[in-house]
Structure 1
Amino acid sequence: MSFAPMPSIDVTALPADGFLLDVRESDEWQAGHAPAATHIAMSEITARHAEVPTDSRVHVICKAGGRSAQVTQFLIDQGVDAVNVDGGMLAWQACGHPMVSENGTAAGVL
């Protein structure tokens, strides 16, 4: 039995106007996230997946790529065009992409 590889994208190849779904927990989100990202924690995705757009590609991100890979597969199973962001927010931060925090402190990855 063979499985299709997980669709993924390098953080440097993300389209500027793409839909970015951050699936980290609330404390991670509050510490630092991409300015235009939408937050739905992995633990809430089954209940809230109707909030994810179905008319455009969804780029799923977490801290390093493990949780987002699971959510990407779940979304694909729901018929969503989803792709995992390789390296997650650690790669995002390493590339110097902008980040904002929700708690007024300097943004960073937990």
Structure 2
Amino acid sequence: MSFALPSVAVSAVPADGFVLDVRESDEWAAGHVEGALHVPMSEFTTRLEEVTDAADGRTAYVMCRVGGRSAQVTQFLVRQGVEAVNIDGGMLAWDAAGRPMVTDTDSPAFVL
């Protein structure tokens, strides 16, 4: 059975969309999408209920650095019945498109 990965360009992610960031903590700390839910891929299966509760029927726009980890998480979520799409190009594409990023400190945001 073949599986087509649902994906979108960063320009298609709504400003108020539910972004799920699956990068590791040091990557998140460097810069992330404001309002995103941070669940590192390494913790994903143990925190699945937190993700499904946060999605609450909305599309989950899944993000990592370039799209590999988020593609795996997107496939997993879709197979669990969650509407999820991979963000093509991840945070590198987000940054290149000039989409806003924040940090939890006063340091400028960047993609690690």
TM-score tier after normalising by the smaller chain length: over 0.9
Q: Deviations over 1:55-101 (max 9, x none)?
A: 11100000000000000011112110010000000000001111111
SS at 2:43 equivalent: helix
Q: Which moved more, 1:45-54 or 1:86-95?
A: 45-54
Unaligned segments of structure 1, at least 5 residues: none
Contact preservation (8 Å) 1:59, 1:85:
yes
Structure 2 counterpart of 1:102, one-letter code: D
Q: Which residue of structure 2 lines up, in the alignment, with residue 15 of structure 1?
A: 14
Q: Which residue of structure 2 lines up, in the alignment, with residue 43 of structure 1?
A: 42
2:105 to 85, 103, 106: 103
Q: TM-score, normalised by structure 1?
A: 0.94
**d(CA) in 1 for partners of 2:61, 2:2:** 21
Q: Deviations over 1:6-50 (max 9, x none)?
A: 000000011122100000000000000011211000011100011
Alignment root-mean-square deviation, CA: 1.0
Q: Which residue of structure 2 lines up, in the alignment, with residue 4 of structure 1?
A: 3
Structure 1 counterpart of 2:18, one-letter code: F
1:25-44 matches, within 5 Å, as 25-44=24-43
2:72 to 62, 70, 87: 70
Q: Which residue of structure 2 lines up, in the alignment, with residue 79 of structure 1?
A: 81
Q: Which residue of structure 2 lines up, in the alignment, with residue 61 of structure 1?
A: 63
SS at 2:99 equivalent: coil
| Aligned-residue offset at 1:104 | 2.6
| Aligned-residue offset at 1:4 | 2.4
Structure 2 counterpart of 1:68, one-letter code: S
Contact preservation (8 Å) 1:23, 1:39:
yes
**d(CA) in 2 for partners of 1:98, 1:16:** 10
Unaligned segments of structure 2, at least 5 residues: none
Structure 2 counterpart of 1:57, one-letter code: T
Structure 1 counterpart of 2:25, one-letter code: S
